[in-house]
Amino acid sequence: MENTSRAVLGALHLVAAMGWQVLWGLILGFAVSAIVDAVVSKAELQKLIPDASARSVTRATLLGAASSSCSYAAVAIARSLFRKGGDFTAAIAFQFASTNLVIELGLLLVVLMGWRFGLAEFVGGPIMIALLVVGFRAFLRPGMVEAARRQADRGLQGRMEGHADMAQMDKSGDWRSRLASPKGWDAISHYFVMNWSMLWRDIAAGLVISGALGALVPDEFWHAAFLVNDPTLGRLWGPLIGPLIAVASFTCSIGNVPLAAVLWNGGISFGGVVAFLFGDLIILPILNIYRRYYGMKMAIFLGAMFYAAMVLAALAVDLVFGGLGLIPEMRHVNVGEAAFSLNYTTVLNVVALVFAGWLYLRYRRSGGPRMMRAMKRNGQGHQDQA
């Protein structure tokens, strides 16, 4: 009993430590994302991605990187773009960039795991998108796209359709004037709180799962699972198993980062960490949304293509970073030091919390709760049976 209590307390301490370490990075990342969402118009995005050309895919990738990090919202926005005339391949590129190339994810990786992991994510993301484009050109048939469009036009609800509608609202005026205006900051506060409302469950789940695994699972288990005793085979095995662990964990987007740190400490390869982080778009709830949005055949196709692109991109990152000597030699990411003393983390967290509190007050005073209720009604309405 005493050992069990000690283990539980250790897990809770690890959860608190990781949460404290990443708090300021999360607030800063969400704030930057909210600013971009509020002042940069995406109303004409579908007109900018009429085909699967390199130019359209690049535009979709850049605009996706400037969007929200919520996987569910990214999937909903991609379907919205596709329904409004955007190219399917470019819409999928937007979706991947929205979850794998956003600033909050990069900040969280740098804060918790180090700059090499943040760099790996931003190098691997474009590689993965390029692989998807090549794969779609080789295997995606026009008939499949038309069938997916017919299914998409049925308008079946998945999750976060309200966010998709809000993200597509037109933003009139120059972005500089919006950023300098009170109404612009009201909109920023709305996006900021909306992003937190969408992702806090995933973040909490990621922290709890990571804390439990980090404190309760012995190193021997991880070493055996990741083939630590055979470095060459383990390097190949990591990218193969990484996305599958993401599927099993059910966490997505930035909620995966704490668990990635635990997996790295446990011995998974560098490429395995990258593949695991990519895997948020093939977790089971999102695969089910693909089925509702595009039909079973397209859902199976997307799941297979996404997994293959994740594995190959992660292998490429592992080889490149290994060749350049950028893979960290130390296996201990310090996720267990909850330092509540006066240090730089504490100062940054206090400043970030004051800023977040100011945004939240602005959100409440400018009709934010009413907007959020309307979004939820929109997301829950028209729930056709699949």
Residue 203 has pLDDT above 60, yes or no: yes
Position with higher pLDDT, 234 vs 196: 234
- Residue of 310, 206, 254 whose CA lies nearest to 71: 254
pLDDT of res. 13: 67
Distance CA 136, CA 141 (A): 8
Residue 374 has pLDDT above 80, yes or no: no
Q: Please give the share of the chain, as a percent, with pLDDT higher than 70.
A: 76
| Angle (deg, nearest 10), helices 142-152 and 71-83 | 100
pLDDT of res. 117: 94
* pLDDT band, residue 258 (cuts 50/70/90): confident
Question: Which range among 59-68, 93-102, 328-337 shows the weakest confidence by mean pLDDT?
Answer: 328-337
Strongest mean pLDDT among 17-26, 122-131, 202-211: 122-131
Give tens-digit pLDDT for 140-195: 999 999 999 999 888 676 555 555 555 444 455 555 676 777 888 888 888 888 87
| Angle (deg, nearest 10), helices 270-278 and 296-323 | 150
The arithmetic mean of pLDDT across residues 88-109, rounded, is 87
pLDDT of res. 306: 96
Give tens-digit pLDDT for 261-310: 888 988 999 999 999 999 888 888 888 889 988 999 999 999 999 999 99
* C-alpha distances in Å from residue 318, one per residue of 90, 108, 312: 26, 20, 10
Distance CA 282, CA 52 (A): 22
* pLDDT band, residue 372 (cuts 50/70/90): confident
Q: Give this prediction's pTM.
A: 0.75
